[in-house]
Structure 1
Amino acid sequence: MSLPRYKVTMLALSLGLAATFVGCSSNPKKDVVDTGPKSTEQSYFDKAQKALDRGQYSDAAQSLEAIETYYPTGQYTQQAQLDLLYARFQQKDYEAVIALADRFIRLNPQHPNVDYAYYVRGVANMEQNYDGLIRYTSLQQAHRDVSYLKVAYQNFVDFIRRFPSSQYAVDAAQRMKFIGQELAESEMNAARFNLKRKAWLAAVERGQWVVEHFPQTPQVPEALATIAYGYDKLGDKATSQQYVEVLKLNYPHLVKSNGEVDLRAARKDGSWLNRATLGILGREARSQTTAEVSAEQSDNTNTQPSLLNRLSFGLLGNKDHNVESAPANESMYDPQRQ
């Protein structure tokens, strides 16, 4: 019995497609075959060091990764891992830096230089929090996502707890101070929003969190004023008056002559022009950030930074450097070399 013409056609198409797939599977693309190391470990390491000195970080990373791949137990493997941290940081590949630091800490917990693996992990998380555009405006990152800053803060806490005598401990503490101000500002930004929507209790809780966890930050006066104002709105006059008395004693300019809290004086809002132009126009003069100081210094001199300056991402061993103004942007990291 003969098949209908349309069934014959469908069968022919099916057989043709099957033959095509079989043909493709029988002729797979040739994979690139790794033929092994093309140089000795010493050659790879020397090549990487020269590339690092020239600022050719991509080339340096390739040589350093080759050492890890072909000489996993070699003489320079651990140093290559540390140098790779530096190269990836200079490439601003912060996620890779964090992953490499975690791996080095896990595999080499007793290494004499493991302290800066902990340190660079915190710096990388800190840098991840800042968007490139925001650096050139007066907009505050604290008014946006601060999740990476929280992770960085815990990284530095862990680092100082483990290595209180490390040469990076002072710088880590300064970074923690800066992060603390950012986190406090983030809380107060949320408190201001809660005040606008008349969520008095939520605003009070934000202010209390700042006073409790970051009592040395510039946001404390506004936090106290917010608490006093919030309790007054909640009807708890007694508690509100207690905070008003604290304000009178420490920040008398935040209390009006009639005894009310002056919230406007407690906060420093940008002008409408500043807000309308995303912080580019209408901003007050501000102190130079660490990145700006670094840029000026690089423009005005061709001298190489000191080893201590490179070890600390450009924050130490450098005169006229304001480390408290902002985190380093074009900061440097160079692990000690054997």
Structure 2
Amino acid sequence: MTAAFSSRRLARLLSALALIALAACSSTPREDDAKKSAEKLYAEAKEDMASGAWDQAIKTLERVEGRAAGTLLAQQAQLDIGYAQWKTNEKAKALSTLDRFVKVHPSSPGVDYALYLRGLINFNDNLGLLGFLAGQSLTDRDQQASRDAYQSFRQLVEQFPDSRYADDARVRMDYIVNSLAEYEVHVARYYLRRGALLAAANRAQQAVQAYPQAPAGEEALFIMTEAYDRLGLDKLRDDARRVLTTNFPNSRFVQPALAQAKPWWKLW
């Protein structure tokens, strides 16, 4: 009886010690975090970001932001939170974080990056701007993300022309302008093929007026010429044709031989 009793006591003692050990282990990270400096936490967050542990990085960065409030480190943590939120496909949260940063810290040295990242998020959100292989109707596509990206990039290059991000922003702005012009021309072509002549002319005119330097202006002018011709608006047709031949003398749309070889609707 004594031996059995001692064995049971020993077993209970060992179980109790195991539970104490587990409790101590589970509480260690929280206690350690409380003792860590903001800099140490930030270093850990960067390690999480490097390894793709975005959710964990966000949690740690939020602690950094609170612990280092009022410092440049807190501002950097907020910017990194926006980036990490983007990487976890939380676009709306990321944009909200960056908008808040620009509003609260207008004189921060990180504003140029915040604007660049805000533009980049919208730019990539609408990447494949003209990728119509998915079968979506041209008139159903929303180009607001591209316009928002353009506004962010423009604000960046206007306020911080010497920023390290300015040159890339300018390149992306050119791409966006050309893409938006292409979009308008695609919609105009869509209308023209379906006989919506006035809508086609108006959409093509919008492309020419809003994006005068875009290469898509060549086809836009051609669509205007064709739409006005079929509408019987001879003066407007002649005006559009004159602008087309003056600005694009070698255009495939005005080459007589090509025009005779193929009907206009097969030029695309």
TM-score by length of structure 1 reads 0.60
Unpaired runs of 5+ residues, structure 1, are: 1-34, 268-338
User: Partner of 2:265 in structure 1?
Assistant: 264
By how many angstroms is 1:215 displaced? 2.6
Counterpart Cα distance in 1 of 2:49 and 2:252: 54
- Offset of residue 73 of structure 1: 3.1
The whole-number CA distance in structure 2 between the counterparts of 1:123 and 1:75 is 23
Q: Distance in 1 between matches of 2:209 and 2:232?
A: 23
2:231 to 231, 234, 242: 234
Cα deviation 1:32-90 (Å, max 9, x = unaligned):
xxx99623323312211222333332222111011223443356211211222332233
**Residue 52 to residue 252, structure 1, CA distance change in 2 (3 Å):** closer
Q: 1:238 to 1:88 in 2, by over 3 A?
A: same
Q: Which has the higher contact order (CA 8 A, sep 6+)?
A: 1
Structure 2 CA distance for partners of 1:81 and 1:142, relative to 1, 3 Å: farther
Larger Rg: 2
After superposition, give the CA deviation of every residue in 1:121-171 in whole Å (9 maximum; x if it has no partner).
11112222348xx97x85598932212112112222222221222111111
The answer to whether 1:211 aligns with 2:212 is no
Measured at CA, do residues 257 and 40 of structure 1 come closer, stay the same or move farther in structure 2, by a change above 3 Å?
closer
2:27 corresponds to: none
Letter in 2 for 1:255: V
Asked whether the 8 Å contact 1:221–1:266 carries over to 2, the reply is no
**Residue aligning to 1:10:** none
> 2 CA distance for matches of 1:69 and 1:119?
24
3-state SS in 2 of match to 1:76:
helix
CA contact (8 A) 1:207 1:226 kept: yes
Q: Which amino acid aligns with 2:254?
A: V
1:168 aligns with 2:168: no
Q: TM-score, normalised by structure 2?
A: 0.74
Equivalent residue letter for 2:166: A
Contact map agreement 1:126 1:149 (CA 8 A) in 2: yes
Equivalent residue for 2:102? 105
**Residue identity matched to 1:43:** K
Out of 80, 83, 86, which is 2:83 matched to?
86
Select between 209-218 and 110-119 the one with higher mean Cα deviation: 209-218
Percent identity (aligned): 32
Residue 332 of structure 1 aligns with which residue?
none
Q: Which digits, 9 at most, give the CA deviation of each residue in 1:265-317, with x for residues without a partner?
A: 653xxxxxxxxxxxxxxxxxxxxxxxxxxxxxxxxxxxxxxxxxxxxxxxxxx
Q: Is the 8 A contact 2:64 2:74 kept in 1?
A: yes
- Asked whether 1:244 is paired with 2:241, we answer yes
CA RMSD in angstroms comes to: 3.0
Which of the pair is proportionally richer in helix? 2
- SS of aligned partner of 1:43: helix
1:253 aligned counterpart, secondary structure: coil
How far, CA to CA, are the matches of 2:167 and 2:233 in structure 1?
A: 43
* 1:193 aligned onto 2:181: no
Structure 2: 5+ residue stretches without partners: 1-29
Deviation larger for 184-193 or 97-106 = 184-193
Displacement of 1:229? 0.9
Q: 1:129 aligned to 118, 126, 131, which one? A: 126
1:184 equivalent in alignment to 2:185: no
> Equivalent residues in 2 for 1:33-182 (5 A)?
38=34, 39-74=36-71, 76-130=73-127, 138=133, 143=138, 144-182=141-179
SS in 2 for 1:217: coil
